[in-house]
Amino acid sequence: MSLRTEVLPASEAAAIARAAEVLRGGGLVAFPTETVYGLGADALDAAAVRKIFAAKGRPADNPLIVHVAAAEEVRALARTVPPAAEKLMRLWPGPLTLVLPRADTVPAVTTAGQPTVAVRVPAHPVALALLQACGRPIAAPSANRSGRPSPTTAEHVVADLAGAVDVVLDAGPCPVGLESTVVDVTGAVPRVLRAGGVPVEALRAIVGEVEVSSGQEPEDMARSPGLRHRHYAPRAQVVLVGPGEAERHAGPGDAVMSQRPRPAGFNKGGVWRTMPAELEGYARELFAALRELDAAEVRRIVVETVPEAGIGRAILDRLRRAAAG
């Protein structure tokens, strides 16, 4: 597939109008959300949605998240909205995706044949303006080639998908930097299928009991095939070590990702990437850092782990998947 990719500044009203027109015509638009850039198509147009899978090289069994401009629009996409979903919708717009029973209006290709549909209202003003201008729900996975780190800038999207997407709306770096939290609300107890921008603690504060998938349970992998696929993997080999242990494990030429500055005595000629001490900042820079180190053509990236609390849970999840790649 080869077409001309237009990269447009999202701050211009004409750019939003052009992107909406492309979506209504069955084309593909990459756009910023507060989490990562999405690769969007009209969620109700099966032919358009198929183009997403082709552009990303995405396995056909991996369902897409449907983005809507307002919570009320969920009712046209879901057969029922369980009480836990009603409560969690208070976190919208925001980095939370709810898995609901699918209504027949949603084509099977969008949900990869699942009886459920994943929906969210994104918090980024450009995403909301695009949804409003287009007037349709937008199906959008992260706008990376399948298996690559998710894109948090328009440059990342272009690096992966130039020639495979019609329009890229450029609004600079994404404020959260990690994908949405995916919560299945079809069962008796809400279940987190993917850790993300909304911490589990925030979900518990609203609905009480919440289960958290380890991402390894076969039943979760069948319902959310994204868990099973190779993910977030830079070309370099990623090795996880405990905090303060990087120097002991890094060999000559290896890159290090640590929340500490490069220690005075450490000089093996490799790249030392100091990550922000606070986890929100770390999350914002994580995918860009993995891409940067890839571009530096390092063979191995030694990464010090972070605490598994708040958004740290999502950071660790992405690091573990990168290391498993």
Write out the residues near ligand TXA by the rule CB under 6 A.
Answer: 33, 35-36, 38, 62-65, 95, 97, 99, 111, 114, 116-118, 122, 140-142, 179-180, 182, 193-194, 223-227
Q: Which of 175, 226 has the CB closer to ligand TXA?
A: 226
The answer to whether residues 20 and 138 touch, using CB atoms and an 8 Å cutoff, is no
**How distant, in Å, are the alpha carbons of 99, 101, 117, 211 from that of 183?**
6, 13, 11, 9
Least distance in angstroms from the C-beta of 81 to Mg ion:
25
Q: Which of 97, 153 has the CB closer to ligand TXA?
A: 97
Q: Which of 81, 118 has the CB closer to ligand TXA?
A: 118
How many separate helices (H) and strands (E) can be counted in the chain? 10, 15
Residues 6 or more apart from 205 whose CB is under 8 A from it?
A: none
Residue 186 interaction partner, one of ligand TXA, Mg ion, none, beta carbon < 5-8 Å per kind: none
Q: Which of 182, 289 has the CB closer to ligand TXA?
A: 182
Least distance in angstroms from the C-beta of 113 to ligand TXA:
10
Contact residue for Mg ion among 62, 110, 142, 224 (CB under 5 A): 142
Closest by CA position to 114, among listed 11, 221, 258: 221
For β-strands 65-67 and 96-101, DSSP reports them as unpaired
User: What does the alpha-carbon distance between residue 142 and residue 152 come to, in Å, rounded to a whole number?
Assistant: 9
Least distance in angstroms from the C-beta of 287 to ligand TXA:
11
Residue 182 interaction partner, one of Mg ion, ligand TXA, none, beta carbon < 5-8 Å per kind: ligand TXA
The answer to whether residues 315 and 282 touch, using CB atoms and an 8 Å cutoff, is yes
Q: Which of 68, 255 has the CB closer to ligand TXA?
A: 68
